[in-house]
Structure 1
């Protein structure tokens, strides 16, 4: 089954290779198409299979030419024009451009000048001092490549949560349709809502394991059967591996706890159990107080729990610990002391303060975005298009004059809307921590989100000072995606999250959890560190079209990984309290 994520990846590669080949204009169109394909709410391959080609053409940013290529790929697994480009430029473009500062044009130049095709080629050339011999390159670029090549290798091995979890939901829906399956759930890092995952792990409770495995590998969505046996199977759907394990119903809870992890959490929990003469494993919780030390076996002792996951924790006198918290960052002690947080949920979210429209790099109008927010039941919604500044590509940022013009339109739309509409902007935090907005613009706006888009190679100390300085600016309401990272693409800034949290608390500025699945910035541990300093958090989607308002799902679970409660997140507040916070 061709997934939307797989389709998007092909058109991102298309755009990169065109840019590497010095083609103008086309790359931007292909990137926009890729973004809209990735965010499309339903499987495009299903629409093509149903013969609904018109629906494909009607996707924003997809016209006759690109839609024909989408259909070609779904039906044949290839795009002839892309294959020709690959032959002309045989570059591992996705791998090479994961190195900060090495874009498609750079990759094209290095291929033409030095024949570099792979990360290994790039590393060898840098180690030999050949990069700096190319016109326009220097020792600094060469050193940057050497410092970041291993990171580029590592991040290419994991899938984005936002791409893998929808597929996992489809897998669960299929398993639930099998009569012999009594219960099923995802496990592993995807159940802990980690921002990237290795494989999709799924657990099913059944007394007919072999039959369930047979139906699973025969599922029409499966592209490749990797292996299968009486109790487990591994298949591939698109570019994602899915591992199924079947267990008997009475051991489903213990298996779910065991295979959810994390490893560190499980080790600490098992040690906690040993101290209480209990034994935990994938088969259950066992009282081993009367068992001789020499006794061996997984099921030794009196089995006291295992059918439900909650029962595994209850057997130790603990409340159930949400999967997002199972990282061994104090959750067991908090459970023991009755201090687990009352975690935020999507139902707690009352609005979104960071979205884009066709005034900058968004794909639709202010009115359409506000209507989509109202349909979600939000009480408020913020428009925050890009201001001019470093890191904004393609001249998509708004000048001060354009911002003031947009504010007038936002006010008009807001006057007719059923919800509160905030006029905002996404300003750019430059290398020194400053933003470039006039006083007239600052006075006209309701909310200023300030984000990093450039100078992302700063060391941790410099980056921390830069971000803290931005937080000291009274005009800034939200520090957007603080690291500037793009998962599986660039690492972004490293910084002291505790110092950031302390400054945010002191200056009443919210730190953003950017819900875009390619960012998820801040991340769980950084949110936790910031909350411990009393910092307010804002969970926003950074949406560029109505369908991506659904990204809130990823942001909320990321905030949960940081122990966030509803009151910690300004998006849950009453309007009067929010207005006061926004000065």
Structure 2
């Protein structure tokens, strides 16, 4: 059954192809619908199955025409109008526009001028020096395209965590409902909460392999079987591959540890075991201290652990290591010495300090966003709409006058609310590190989130100086999505995370983990660099509508990948402590 992400992807393709064909206005409507479909909290395909057309049309940006296309796609797997557009413009638009600097209009022009339809065509044209000859292009553009094709190919093979994890949750719910399943868990990179994944790996402990595999392959959500055998099966759900492996319940723990990875973590852990006369593999932990060199095999030696994952670590004298930490960044040494962090949990978060409303590029009034935050049990909430500046498209940024007007509106909502509401702004960090706010505006605000939105191709040294200058600004409370990256779209700024973190400590500026699944910026290793020097962290959603407050899930796990504890994160603090930090 089609997922919300898959449906949204079709409308994003619609928008891109229309824009490539120089159609105005319609692309924006399709993009708005795609964004709201993707963020919708419930599976839209269920509404189609129930014949609930009314609820579909109630989704913001989805009127009668788009609702009809949703129904058509869910029921048939295709949209006739989109197929016709594909025939007119046979461009692999998603692949080509993954190349940084190549948008839909560029893709359309290169198709018309050079016949570029695929990523291979684009690379060949760049290598042959043909792009520079097209009007409006030049050697630098051609060079940028040539340099970014490899990155575009790499990201095209992976899915966002925010797209794949909900599917993984559905798979687990289905398998856990089978009588033959004794134990069940996701494995691989999705269990480590990496920002992108290649496929969904699921592990089941059972003594009834055939029954479980047959049920899995026959699951209603499966769109196609890839392969199946006695111990594993692979299917396609929407566009995502799901791999199932079944093991004996007695070996579930060792298999879970082994297949969770990462590869680097497992190699280091196996070497740690070898030094202690132990052997680790997917079948268990074995004491091989008395085993001769002539004996070989996966199950050689005395099996001392394997039924539980925690037992695999305990057999080596180690504390259980949370999956998010298993990247070979010091976690084994910390587990040996008892110094593993007490990681941030969802319930530790007391509020959100970066969100948007209908005043800029959100689509919800302040009151409704605050009510949604209150419904989540938050103690405080920050409105941070966009200020005018570079990288803000479509005139969505607020002028100084409009910011001051919004501050008054926020004060009224704050006075009427049971939670504290902060008047903030998302200022733009320009290419030099300036934020472009007047002293009058700064004085009126409770919080300034400063974020880069443009000039994202700077070299690492320049980018680091730019971001350091921003955090040194006494007006800046939070550096928002520091790299400006968009996963599977653009790489964003490269910078020295440690140097930035040291500056953040010195100037009491928090570094943001932006929870939007297309950003997850900062990422795990950068968060760890910040935590190691004591830099404050803020885990925010960058929500543009109430449903996207749910993005906090992705941000919390990303912060956990960086070893963040509750006290490291400013929006876990009590209200008065947070106020003191912001003052």
Structure 2 length normalisation: TM-score? 0.99
Q: Is the 8 A contact 1:100 1:457 kept in 2?
A: no
Residue of structure 2 equivalent to 1:450: 450
Structure 1: tracts of 5 or more residues without a match: none
Residue of structure 1 equivalent to 2:471: 471
Deviation at 1:389, TM superposition (A): 0.9
Q: What are the Cα deviations for residues 182-233 of structure 1, in whole angstroms up to 9, with x where unaligned?
A: 1100000000000000110000111111111111111111111111111111
Q: Is the 8 A contact 1:313 1:320 kept in 2?
A: yes
CA distance in 2, matches of 1:257, 1:417: 47
CA distance in 2, matches of 1:55, 1:13: 24
Deviation at 1:122, TM superposition (A): 1.2
Q: What are the Cα deviations for residues 304-357 of structure 1, in whole angstroms up to 9, with x where unaligned?
A: 111100000000001100000000000000111111001000010000001111
Q: What are the Cα deviations for residues 83-128 of structure 1, in whole angstroms up to 9, with x where unaligned?
A: 1221221111111111222111111111111111111111111112
Residue of structure 1 equivalent to 2:166: 166
Residue of structure 2 equivalent to 1:24: 24
Moved more, 260-269 or 79-88: 79-88
Deviation at 1:553, TM superposition (A): 0.3
Listed as ranges, the matches of 1:116-265 within 5 Å are 116-265=116-265
CA distance in 1, matches of 2:80, 2:214: 36
Residue of structure 2 equivalent to 1:113: 113
CA distance in 1, matches of 2:339, 2:316: 16
CA distance in 2, matches of 1:477, 1:100: 30
Residue of structure 2 equivalent to 1:275: 275
* DSSP-derived class of the 1:538 partner: strand
* DSSP-derived class of the 2:286 partner: strand
Residue of structure 1 equivalent to 2:327: 327
Q: What are the Cα deviations for residues 214-271 of structure 1, in whole angstroms up to 9, with x where unaligned?
A: 1111111111111111111111100011011111111000000000000100010001
Residue of structure 2 equivalent to 1:553: 553
CA distance in 2, matches of 1:524, 1:141: 32
Residue of structure 1 equivalent to 2:509: 509
Q: Is the 8 A contact 1:254 1:312 kept in 2?
A: yes
CA distance in 1, matches of 2:575, 2:71: 46
CA distance in 2, matches of 1:430, 1:88: 40
Residue of structure 1 equivalent to 2:308: 308
How many pairs does the alignment contain? 583
Residue of structure 2 equivalent to 1:562: 562
* DSSP-derived class of the 1:14 partner: helix
CA distance in 2, matches of 1:469, 1:307: 52
Deviation at 1:401, TM superposition (A): 0.9
* DSSP-derived class of the 1:234 partner: strand
CA distance in 2, matches of 1:225, 1:92: 25
Residue of structure 2 equivalent to 1:42: 42
Deviation at 1:530, TM superposition (A): 1.5
* DSSP-derived class of the 2:280 partner: strand
* DSSP-derived class of the 2:356 partner: coil
Deviation at 1:57, TM superposition (A): 0.3
Structure 2: tracts of 5 or more residues without a match: none
Q: Is the 8 A contact 1:429 1:453 kept in 2?
A: yes
* DSSP-derived class of the 1:181 partner: coil
CA distance in 1, matches of 2:396, 2:114: 34
Deviation at 1:143, TM superposition (A): 0.9
Deviation at 1:77, TM superposition (A): 1.3
Listed as ranges, the matches of 1:292-307 within 5 Å are 292-307=292-307
Residue of structure 1 equivalent to 2:460: 460
CA distance in 2, matches of 1:65, 1:405: 37
Moved more, 89-98 or 318-327: 89-98
CA distance in 2, matches of 1:91, 1:453: 28
CA distance in 1, matches of 2:209, 2:232: 8
Residue of structure 2 equivalent to 1:421: 421
* DSSP-derived class of the 1:442 partner: helix
CA distance in 1, matches of 2:17, 2:385: 28
Structure 1 length normalisation: TM-score? 0.99
Deviation at 1:289, TM superposition (A): 1.1
* DSSP-derived class of the 1:201 partner: strand
Residue of structure 2 equivalent to 1:369: 369
Residue of structure 1 equivalent to 2:384: 384
Q: Is the 8 A contact 1:381 1:422 kept in 2?
A: yes
> Deviation above 2 Å: which 4+ runs of structure 1?
none
CA distance in 2, matches of 1:344, 1:564: 6
* DSSP-derived class of the 1:440 partner: helix
CA distance in 1, matches of 2:203, 2:77: 30
Deviation at 1:410, TM superposition (A): 0.9
> Is 1:92 the equivalent of 2:107?
no
Deviation at 1:482, TM superposition (A): 0.6
* DSSP-derived class of the 2:437 partner: coil
> Is 1:488 the equivalent of 2:525?
no
CA distance in 1, matches of 2:117, 2:432: 36
Deviation at 1:66, TM superposition (A): 1.1
* DSSP-derived class of the 1:527 partner: helix
CA distance in 1, matches of 2:460, 2:403: 33
CA distance in 1, matches of 2:250, 2:84: 55
CA distance in 2, matches of 1:373, 1:15: 32
CA distance in 2, matches of 1:399, 1:67: 36
Deviation at 1:433, TM superposition (A): 0.9
CA distance in 2, matches of 1:238, 1:55: 22
Q: Is the 8 A contact 1:209 1:230 kept in 2?
A: yes
* DSSP-derived class of the 2:443 partner: helix
CA distance in 1, matches of 2:2, 2:361: 27
Deviation at 1:436, TM superposition (A): 1.2
* DSSP-derived class of the 1:34 partner: helix
Deviation at 1:381, TM superposition (A): 0.5
